[in-house]
Amino acid sequence: MRRLSIPLFALLLVIGACAPGTNAAMQGGGSAPGAGDVLTAEMLTPFAGSTLYDAIQTERRQWLRTRGEDQVKVWLDGRELGGTSELRTILVSSVAEARYLEPREAQREYGMGQTSGAIVVTSR
């Protein structure tokens, strides 16, 4: 009986480790497991009347972190706006989705000037 319990315990550990949502805190905060790089319009609903900067600072503060002196770049509908201060000019009610791109992915998508990553905003 003891021999059976060790493999069963190992199997339960593997299943538990693979279960969705078990590492939501490591995904970037927020309530949706595995969605640490995206804020949808639905997720932004509690911030109606606020700016996108305020929502991101509350839900995904790590998106605003810089590397050295370089700022995270903000893109709106395919157009570069500038740094994260531009998020203060975007109302949550006008946003369909905001997505964070890690530096490597941002550079691949938008060019070499994205050394701290990029926040890509799609308007409604």
Structural tokens at position 95? 């946003």
Q: What is the CATH number that goes with domain 37-123? A: 2.170.130.10
Residue of 69, 75, 89, 80 whose CA lies nearest to 121: 75
Give the predicted TM-score (pTM) of the model.
0.71
Domains of the chain, residue spans? 37-123
Q: Check residues 7 and 47 and name the one with the higher pLDDT.
A: 47
pLDDT in tens, 50-78: 999 999 999 999 999 887 778 899 999 99
